[in-house]
């Protein structure tokens, strides 16, 4: 089974219990205005350009068969015409500094698990395992399923980070092979959800209720996006929804990451929605955590060192 992933990151400690490796899938059914991993939105692999690494040797210009790369007079850096680029890869091969690279790769489920198993002793010693993230890992359900199955053959703890926006049968497909679900709930109001993510959330709510009725471990994560999700009405309604569905499910608040803006630059895209957006102060997060606990929700909060 083949599919497209962004990367496999080893020794991650924020994507589940213990020391883990996280597989980041390409492709997502939602289009969140603030997306923290924009390289995971599209399922197809794209070419990235790091201006700071470029030494202006222009070796890439000579090998691009589709003339998708150019250098403008008075502008020392490379310009990529995404309409012409077919990702043949010769430019990446000749680039001496890695200024040109792909934002992902095509890989088989066996190759993924082979890489994951390199850290098997660390998983075993720390109570860790593997996590599938993205993008949305279940946007490529067949690849995710085969990876999870093979991981379970090696007795690995498995976690999936998901937005739950897909048919219930997709969730049922992987259910037996997942130990922990991180469920990303962004906005409770359906119209607001549609406005900021491009889709309503009734499917998400229905899938959450189904998942909460199983014996799976679940942690809800709410992205704290200033001016969009990070308001008391939204957080309060999500908290009440989770509490009414299953009182044992904890919630973790995920502060906005300003480094996201650099990714849009690398992709040659502009995202005015996040321009000048800043993370919430710790005191502001305190208020939201107090709100959750006031509802009765168990909270998870990363300890600052």
pTM over 0.95: no
* φ, ψ of residue 148 in degrees (nearest 5): -65, -45
Give yes or no: residues 190 and 296 share one domain: yes
CATH number at residue 61: 3.30.70.20
Residue 305: predicted pLDDT = 45
Tokens of 260: 């996201």
The mean pLDDT value of the chain amounts to 93
Does a structural domain hold residue 263?
Answer: no
Give yes or no: residues 75 and 165 share one domain: no
> In which residue are the tokens 């070419």 written?
47
Contact 48, 103 (CB under 8 A): yes
CA–CA separation, 243 and 299 (whole Å): 12
CA–CA separation, 158 and 21 (whole Å): 10
Give yes or no: residues 147 and 227 share one domain: yes
Confidence of residue 304 (pLDDT cuts 50, 70, 90): low
Secondary structure (DSSP) of 130-195: EEEESS-GGGSHHHHHHHHHHHHHTT-EEEEEE---S-HHHHHHHGGG-SEEEEE---SSHHHHHH
Q: 194-197: which pairs have CB atoms within 8 A and are 24 or more residues apart?
A: 196/32, 196/33, 196/34, 196/228, 197/30, 197/31, 197/32, 197/33
**Count of domains observed in the chain:** 2
Give yes or no: residues 85 and 193 share one domain: no
CA–CA separation, 204 and 162 (whole Å): 10
pLDDT in tens, 123-140: 999 999 999 999 999 999
| Side-chain half-sphere exposure of 201, counting CA atoms within 13 A | 23
Mark which of 59, 87, 102 sits at the end of a domain.
Answer: 102
């Amino acid at each position: 089974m083949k599919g497209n992933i962004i990367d496999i990151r080893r020794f991650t400690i924020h994507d589940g219990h213990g020391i883990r490796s996280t597989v980041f899938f390409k492709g997502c059914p939602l289009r969140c205005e603030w997306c923290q991993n924009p390289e995971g939105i599209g399922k197809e692999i794209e070419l990235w350009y790091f201006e700071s690494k470029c030494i202006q040797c222009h070796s890439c210009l000579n090998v691009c068969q589709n003339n998708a790369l150019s250098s403008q007079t008075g502008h020392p850096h490379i310009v990529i015409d995404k309409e012409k680029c077919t990702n043949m890869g010769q430019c990446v091969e000749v680039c001496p500094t890695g200024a040109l690279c792909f934002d992902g790769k095509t890989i088989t489920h066996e190759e993924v698990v082979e890489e994951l198993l390199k850290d098997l002793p660390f998983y075993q010693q720390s109570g860790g395992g593997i996590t599938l993230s993205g993008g949305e890992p279940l946007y490529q359900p067949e690849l995710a399923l085969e990876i999870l199955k093979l991981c379970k053959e090696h007795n690995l703890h498995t976690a999936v980070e998901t937005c739950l926006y897909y048919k219930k049968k997709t969730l049922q497909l992987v259910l037996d092979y997942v130990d922990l679900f991180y469920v990303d709930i962004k906005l409770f109001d359906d119209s607001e959800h549609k406005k900021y993510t491009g889709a309503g959330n009734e499917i998400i709510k229905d899938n959450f209720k189904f998942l909460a009725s199983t014996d799976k471990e679940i942690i809800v994560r709410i992205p704290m996006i200033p001016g969009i999700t990070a308001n008391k009405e939204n957080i309060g309604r999500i908290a009440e929804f989770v509490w009414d569905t299953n009182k044992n499910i904890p919630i973790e608040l995920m502060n906005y990451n300003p480094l996201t803006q650099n990714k849009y630059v690398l992709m040659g895209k502009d995202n005015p929605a996040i321009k000048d957006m800043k993370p919430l102060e710790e005191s502001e997060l305190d208020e939201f955590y107090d709100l959750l606990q006031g509802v009765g929700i168990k909270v998870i909060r990363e300890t600052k060192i």
